Amino acid sequence: MIATEGYITVEDGVRLFFQKVGIGLSTLIVLNGFYLFDDFKYLAEGRTIIFLDLRNRGRSNHITANSKLSRGVLNDVDDIEAARRHFDVNQVDLLAHSYAGKTVILYAMKYHAHVNRIVQISAMKPDESTQYPVHLSGVDATLQEFFDRATELQQQRQSLDAGEFCRKFWSLLRVIYVANPADAEKIRWDSCDLPTELSLMTYWLQYLLPSIQNASPTAKDLAAVKMPVLVVHGTKDRSSPYGGAREWVMALPNARLLAVENVAHAPWIEAPERVLGPIQSFLDGIWPDSAQRVESL
């Protein structure tokens, strides 16, 4: 499948990289496409997909100016709208993973008239201050071992060049993204050759995470998100607690949960047979049988 690629220049001059595949009438925007392209290009049959690298991520501009980073995830919300206008599409479907799974909800709150359907995969919880019981939190010995080893690696940082540190960090991080350790090598999201990804931790800690923590939508905010939302989440997710997925579905007016048992932060990689088909059905306008309503944590 041949992809076209290029850049979108947004209002403050930042350029966002995109890849575009398919020629269908419906349009799907996939956020942070630099690591999702190969896994989700299968959805291009019958639709147009725009794989968009968010601000200061992937192959989009590497930014150092505080004025272009300080709004964090709120910049991303407006950048999605800039992409929609660039491609002159009235309504889009959205697919996003991890922190971007919360971003698409924030976008739908602000620009709900322009959203048709949302696929939210392993999204961060609605309110970052919420604590869940152990069985909904994903906290286990593997996560604690990661923190211990990451602390040790941080102490060695001055003796490592940026690329080597990035690769070593990802070798630790990919282990907590899967429930089965044998699947860890399937996680290839590091992109340590890109300057944006080499500086990701600084960007995350200084701008993205604080902005996400400050963006806790109220019940009234979420009431505006009336379009269908498919929440896909592994029950063993250590990075984005499974309790958050249940909370999203309870809070959103028209959401259902595709709970993927015994997988972690990358459900489409660990259990493709339980995830990829249902996502396609949902985007085709049909709730998958495996997607259920949720009434309690």
Domains of the chain: 4-137+200-283 (3.40.50.1820)
Residue 10 in tokens: 């947004």
Dihedral angle of Cα 147, 151, 157, 160, to the nearest 10 degrees: -60
Q: What is the pLDDT of residue 1?
A: 73
Q: What is the pLDDT of residue 105?
A: 98
Q: Which residues of the chain have pLDDT under 70?
A: none
Q: What is the pLDDT of residue 84?
A: 98
Has this prediction a pTM greater than 0.85?
yes
Per residue in 51-101, pLDDT (tens digit) is 999 999 999 999 999 999 999 999 999 999 999 999 999 999 999 999 999
Q: What is the pLDDT of residue 2?
A: 83
The gap from C-alpha 219 to its chain's centroid, in whole angstroms, comes to 22
Taking CA 294 as the corner, what is the angle to CA 100 and CA 284, rounded to the nearest 5 degrees?
Answer: 60
Taking CA 131 as the corner, what is the angle to CA 130 and CA 132, rounded to the nearest 5 degrees?
Answer: 120
End-to-end CA distance of the chain: 42
